[in-house]
Structure 1
Amino acid sequence: MSSTPHLPYGTWPSPITVEAVGDASGSTSWPCGAGDENWWCASDPATATVRLLRNAPGHEEPVPVLAPGISVRNRSLGYGGKPYWVRAAEAASDSHLLVFTDHRDQRLYRAEVSRLGNAVEDGFPASVPLTPADPPDRETCWADPVAGPDGTEVWCVRETTRAVTGPHDADPAVRTTREIVAVPLSGAAADDPGALRVVARSHDFLCGHRISPDGRRLAWIGWDHPHMPWDSSELMIADLRDGIAGEPVRLLGGSHDATEVSVSQAAWAGPDTLYAMADPDGWWNLHRIDLATDRPTSTAIANVLPRQEDCAGAIWRVGASWFAVTPYGVVLPHGNGAQRLSRWSPEDGVLTELADGWSSFQGDLWSDGERILVRAADPARGSALLSVPLAPGSGPALRTRPKSDDPLASWKPLPERRTVYDAQGRPVHFILHRPTHPTASAPQGELPPLLVQVHGGPTSAAGVTADLEYSFFTSRGFTVADVDYGGSTGYGRAYRDRLRGQWGVVDVDDCVTVARALADEGLADPARTAVRGGSAGGWTTLACLVHTDVFCAGTVLYPISDPARWRAEQTHDFESRYVDTLVGTLPQDRARFDIVSPAANADRIKAPLVMLQGADDFICRPDQATCIVDNLAERGVWHRFLLFAGEGHGFRRADSVRRSLLAEVALYREVLGARIAPDVPLHADAPLGGHTDGP
């Protein structure tokens, strides 16, 4: 029997290659059903497109719905909204009706899609435009199509941005409008914009528009600058007359009487009853709203499921959905960190768990009343798209695809939810990924290098599965700690609000707290602790390198570095006032900006870093990265800068992910020693020195 090899942490051989990570870097989103078929969007790292896929019982292997080259996504809010709607084929029909947005021109299209099993082999449906092409001075995108009251239209959120005409309108907030618009399914509006009908207007931002079952009313969520929707947003309602909303009335939410309330979602339970997720008590809980029958006002609003745990998340995308009203009750996830998916009965208030063994559920849940489709995850089970039957006794939640054997399972850690406490006794939550290998182990007494991962948002949360990118490192002997720092969602408003006015302080302190706690526990080497993150996580990574000496290196992806310039015309409309909440307002808070800004304090960065940036990023523009890189170059600090042509905010191409990982390995070899990850070949295009170059 061969003995287990003792190899230093960080040098273990692993079959998880940069190519494997790049090929697996895609994601799934927006599940939907059409009869017994399951539909969803899947990003394809090989083509940098989003394919619309489907399967069904007996046809489990996914097949694409539309021809190659069509990318089913849109630019709504900068991060994309729900890009399609499908009406299932009726008994006498062989085809489903699909409406979708094509990223190439952002127009709305329709297609007649044959039932799965009836489609012509290797054939794809023809796409017919429903909305007009943009003139040169305007960009339009469409999100979250829903069926209109009479079935002849889809109603969408239309986002329109005028081109810049001068310094007076460089700010996207003055050039961007959003409306709920009816689009005829006949295609009449493709060449005639006059065939479109504006249904409703109310706020700078709109989402979640839903029509009452009797077609008399429209509900939606809106918010205005400078608020973000997780801070203050309003549930609106209006009567519909001839397909146009009357004067809207606020039912719930917003900033009133020195308080703020966020509404995440609303759904109809009947012509005069709405359910909504709102947080007047500090948690996104389920509220029932009873409406007057003769006017759009409420007669009663009640928190029907009061719990000190969140049952929804933050609105980052138009069309997000965390709960569904069904004939069997309201289905929703709930929990602090770890979640359960349950059905709540309005009759007796009982919660019945529906997906035993799963502990995380994404905010694009779909239901037809008889079943739920939801993306679920759990450390022990990985991730899957679940189909959950709702009728009592109808069976358990099932994967829509059978779980396949994972040849890399032995090299993947079992993620652990952990909580530590900062110097003030406040909790800091994180996910721990330990070094994992089927045969290798480290010499006794040695501590592993630690990578502190900082998620973006910053109003986001860490994942709970063995991410292959993390496993690339843990299988080689690294520890990874994915930190849900103050500001993260899933732990109530008070935890989110810890970051307000404290960006660059609380997030940094929480990352340091986790790093020191793991070192004190003997789970990480404090002298070999690095930090990594993208977008807002890139900000925190830079701030950690500026304001602390805890981290020996940093990997920074498409960051914010100068908050004074990451605002107004320097970013996109959705986040153009976000720094008002995170840092403060200018010019009165200039001193605070100067204190926390990594760009203003770049001279304090002594640790080597890798900077990775998309050339086409309009959310965090390349100059947010280059101002840091230029400073490091002037002072001779080791760094590597890669600017990826054709990439935006978040890398979609497998090759970009591969090159990013190679650059990161080069960084750790520079800082932690040449023996780090010796089985990863660094090619000529991934040098070890301090270089600035493109892909």
Structure 2
Amino acid sequence: MPYGSWPTPVTSALVVRAAARLGEVVVDGGDVWWSESRPAEGGRSALVRRSTDGAVADVLPSPWNARTRVHEYGGAAWAVAGGTVWFTHFDDQRLYRLDPGAAAPVALTPEPDLPAGVRYADLTPTGDGGLLAVRETHAASGAAADVVNEIVRIAADGTTEVLVTGPDFVSDPRPGPDGQLAWLQWDHPDMPWDAARLVVRAADGTETVVAGGRSPDGRGESAVQPTWDADGTLWFCCDRTDTWSLWRRRPGGPAELVLDPGHDLAGPQWVFGARSFALLPGGRVVVPGGDDRLLVRRPDGSTAELALPGYTAVRYLAADGEGVVCAGGGPRTEPVVLRAGLDGAVEVLRPARDLGLDPAWFSVPEHVTFPTEDRGTGIAEAHAYVYPPTNPGVTAPEGERPPLVVMVHGGPTGAHDRTFNPEIQYFTSRGFCVAHVDHRGSAGYGRRYRDVLQGHWGVADLDDVVACARYLADAGRVDAARMAIRGGSAGGFTTLAALCLRPGTFTAGASHFGVADLAALAADTHKFESRYLDGLVAPWPDGADVYTARSPITHVGALDTPLAVFQGSEDRVVPPEQAEVLVAALRDRGVPHAYLLFEGEQHGFRRAENIRAALDGELSFYAQVWGFDLPADEGIAPIPVVR
């Protein structure tokens, strides 16, 4: 059968069923807790506990939703200690506490004057019934410049004390021994992966910057994930050696490098609560070791490997006796909760959902490195993970080559993690080749690779996605006449820019809440990213001409490639006005396009019906543009394509 039209059990309904996303994993008194986002329940974040007897149960029934809007991306919206749970409820952003045996949560913080105007994240219990938190306070003006981020202590009775105020951003409040407090802070225009500073405050109020920040010559350094050991040693990750490696600061001593495995241990702090290492008794530390393994660093500096067959992405490590628990996933399995012992035993505590599919349906990626334009960056190659068409029951006509979908991650300081992604399998099982591009600027390859995008967003990433598509076409792996590009958020910007500024390579595109107007984004977005483009593009507004030159909307007159646009009506990161302007320009030019606006959705689609509509709509769009038939038994309604 022709590529693209292959029948498959990987439907949009299955994608939604498999789309529950794991959040933080925590160990409390032997019980293992985790959060998971559930599209089938309106996208709410549920809390789940696995007791020591193996029983698994939801802790917060619907409609409770443990999700914060701090930085708009959230993370670390809950914490547990001694069975007591604190969490931020999404609807009102207030803090709540649920004690063991209590019938329902109780509110700790008052209703703010501005609905959802006071938000809490990065919750850290203090051991005395209270907790530390990052508090984000919004003003009635709605202006990003008026948002205040602070570290606060909240007592058991709800009394609140401000501990750190002044920096533009703060995170990771961690109480240490002898009255010490550690946290991260950074200021505009830096992002945390640019120059987050690790600060320690002694009991007498003296503050010391342990690592991170900017040197007098402007060189940036990012410290992340401060964690205290029982002996007063402060552990953290820092990219001083190019990769985010493991460091420590012993009491009274300087920061010292402990382990540089040659790859990034940590990632960019888009959300709160990341944990890339776990401290075990006896001075041992466990970190991700790359594909299929963990590394155990012993006190004498030697290391040992723990095998995790099939798990290429591991995160949220937490100590659990003589081992760790974590979230882990791989190309053939969605994220699961694992317990890995130092004796090599691996136990799955929260298994993947049974999708009823033979693994023969799953396309396994191949890492490729391909040449690209240097343009004075010093790096002339980029990376991608290529997923070939995979379907055990169908072959293509002899001589036909598959269509290509180039996927671009968000951020743009993000990366592809190779965890089982049902959306990718949705396409590959139908006969598409998918290339997930880690363009220069992506995380995971060290700071030098990541910093290429500084001042080059809209240039280097375009070079790389075009180079990847042509590399695969020249190798005869895909049909050069049927190559599409798709992405969300920052990936949507690269998608739109590639079609407008580099026409001729792609013959279709799909933008999911993508950036069309850089100037509009710089002038009207939330505080966390309000100065992000100063580094990626140029200082705003002094560099307004650069914003104009690189914005897809400026070059829409050159856009003659069919395009599908998907947008949420309540998106504060990329407001829907950007999509409306783009669609109006497409309509004025008579370019074939489709547009779906989802009411109530924010930045990223969380509701099952909308995830399905966007995915099926995108497939239907490609079918209409490239002229292949969809499997009749799925009942996919054609998305309206207009001129």
Tell me whether the two structures share a fold, i.e. TM-score over 0.5.
Answer: yes
Task: Indicate the residue corresponding to 2:209 in structure 1.
Answer: 250
Match of 1:99 in 2: 86
Tell me whether 1:378 sits opposite 2:330 in the alignment.
yes
Does 1:497 pair with 2:451? yes
Quick check: 1:459–1:489 contact (8 Å CA) kept in 2? yes
Q: How many residues are aligned here?
A: 634
Residue identity opposite 1:55 in structure 2: R
Cα separation, partners in 2 of 1:653 and 1:354, compared to 1, 3 Å: same
Q: Paired residue for 2:193? A: 230
The equivalent residue for 1:457 is 411
SS class of match (1:198): strand
- What residue number does 2:143 align with? 171
In the alignment, which of 274, 297, 319 is matched to residue 344 of structure 1? 297
1:597-653 C-alpha deviation (Å, 9 max, x unpaired): 101111111111110000000111001111110100111111111111110000000
Q: Which one of 598, 608, 632 corresponds to residue 654 of structure 1?
A: 608
Letter in 1 for 2:538: G
Q: Distance in 2 between matches of 1:611 and 1:486?
A: 25
Shift of 1:223: 0.3
Query: What is the DSSP-based 3-state SS (H/G/I as helix, E as strand, rest coil) of the residue aligned with 1:453?
Result: strand
CA distance in structure 2 between the partners assigned to 1:339 and 1:584 by the alignment: 40
From 146, 150, 155, the counterpart of 2:132: 155
Q: Which amino acid aligns with 1:343?
A: V
**Gaps in structure 2 of 5+ consecutive residues:** none
CA displacement 1:363-407 (0-9 Å, x = unmatched): 4322355432211122245532111234xx3x4232113566542
Q: Which residue of 2 aligns with 1:443?
A: 397
> Which residue of 2 is the match for residue 167 of structure 1?
none
Of 211, 231, 239 in structure 1, the residue corresponding to residue 175 of structure 2 is 211
Aligned AA for 2:37?
Answer: S
For residue 295 of structure 1, what is the aligned residue in structure 2? none
The one-letter amino acid paired with 2:143 is: D
Of 212, 232, 241, the match for 1:281: 241
Please point out which of 485, 500, 516 is paired with 1:561.
516
> What corresponds to 2:371 in structure 1?
421
Percent identical: 37
Deviation of 1:290 (Å): 2.8
Please report how far the alpha carbon of residue 17 of structure 1 lies from its aligned counterpart in structure 2 after TM superposition.
1.6
Going from structure 1 to structure 2, the CA distance change for 1:514 and 1:125 (only over 3 Å counts) comes to farther
Question: 1:578 — aligned with what?
Answer: 532
Contact persistence 2:66–2:88 (CA under 8 A): yes
SS of residue matched to 2:254: strand
Q: Which amino acid aligns with 2:215?
A: H
Q: Which amino acid aligns with 2:161?
A: R
Aligned-partner SS, 1:566? helix
- Which residue of structure 2 lines up, in the alignment, with residue 136 of structure 1? 114
Query: Which one of 481, 497, 509 corresponds to residue 527 of structure 1?
Result: 481
Counterpart Cα distance in 2 of 1:444 and 1:217: 69
SS of the equivalent of 2:326 reads strand
In 2, the alpha carbon distance for the partners of 1:343 and 1:101 equals: 34
Distance 2:3 2:281 in 1: 54
- For residue 274 of structure 1, report the CA deviation from its aligned partner: 1.3
Cα offset, 1:277, TM superposition:
0.8
Tell me, yes or no, if the aligned pair for 2:331 and 2:421 is still in contact at 8 Å: no
Indicate conservation of the 8 Å contact 1:594/1:600, yes or no.
yes
Letter in 2 for 1:77: H
Describe how 1:314-393 pairs up with structure 2 within 5 A: 314-328=268-282, 329-335=284-290, 338=291, 340-345=293-298, 347-368=299-320, 370-390=322-342, 393=343
CA 1:110/1:586 → structure 2, altered by over 3 Å: closer, same or farther? Answer: closer
> Does structure 1 retain, via aligned residues, the 8 Å contact 2:405–2:483?
yes
Structure 2 CA distance for partners of 1:136 and 1:11, relative to 1, 3 Å? closer
1:666 counterpart = 2:626: no
Alpha carbons of 1:405 and 1:359: their partners in 2 closer, same or farther (altered >3 Å)?
closer
Alignment match of 1:180 (pick from 151, 154, 175): 151
Q: Distance in 2 between matches of 1:311 and 1:22?
A: 30
Q: Pick the aligned partner of 2:345 from 396, 402, 406.
A: 396
Q: 1:309 to 1:17 in 2, by over 3 A?
A: closer
Mapped to 2, the partners of 1:449 and 1:652 lie a distance apart of 28
Inter-CA distance 24–464: structure 2 relative to 1 (3 Å threshold): same
CA gap of 1:595–1:197, structure 2 versus 1, over 3 A, is same
The two structures, once aligned, show a CA RMSD in angstroms of: 2.1
Structure 1 counterpart of 2:137, which letter?
T
Does the CA-based 8 Å contact 2:315-2:328 persist in structure 1?
A: no
Q: Equivalent residues in 2 for 1:539-618 (5 A)?
A: 539-548=493-502, 549-568=504-523, 570-618=524-572
State whether residues 181 and 197 of structure 1, in contact with CA within 8 Å, keep that contact through their aligned partners in structure 2. Answer: yes
Q: Deviations over 1:554-610 (max 9, x none)?
A: 110011111111124x11110000110111023432332222110111111111111
**CA-to-partner distance for each residue in 1:77-126, whole Å, 9 max, x for gaps?**
110120111113xxxxxxx2111111111111111235xxxxxxxxx831
Unmatched 5+ residue regions in structure 1? 1-6, 89-95, 115-123, 165-169, 190-194, 293-298
**CA distance in 2 between partners of 1:377 and 1:357 (Å):** 10
Does the aligned pair in 2 maintain the 1:176–1:573 contact within 8 Å? yes
Question: For 2:425 and 2:201, how far apart are their aligned partners in 1?
Answer: 50
Contact preservation (8 Å) 1:613, 1:622: yes
Q: Distance in 1 between matches of 2:115 and 2:332?
A: 51
Q: 1:412 aligns with which of 359, 362, 375?
A: 362
Describe the shift of the 1:362–1:616 C-alpha distance in structure 2 as closer, same or farther (beyond 3 A): farther
TM-score by length of 1: 0.87
Q: Secondary structure at the match of 1:249?
A: strand
Question: Could you state the TM-score of these two structures normalised by the residue count of structure 2?
Answer: 0.94
Q: Does 1:53 align with 2:48?
A: yes
CA distance in 1, matches of 2:116, 2:640: 44
The amino acid that maps onto 2:537 is V
Name the residue aligned to 1:25: 19
Instruction: State whether residues 379 and 416 of structure 1, in contact with CA within 8 Å, keep that contact through their aligned partners in structure 2.
Output: no
Secondary structure class of the residue paired with 1:439: coil
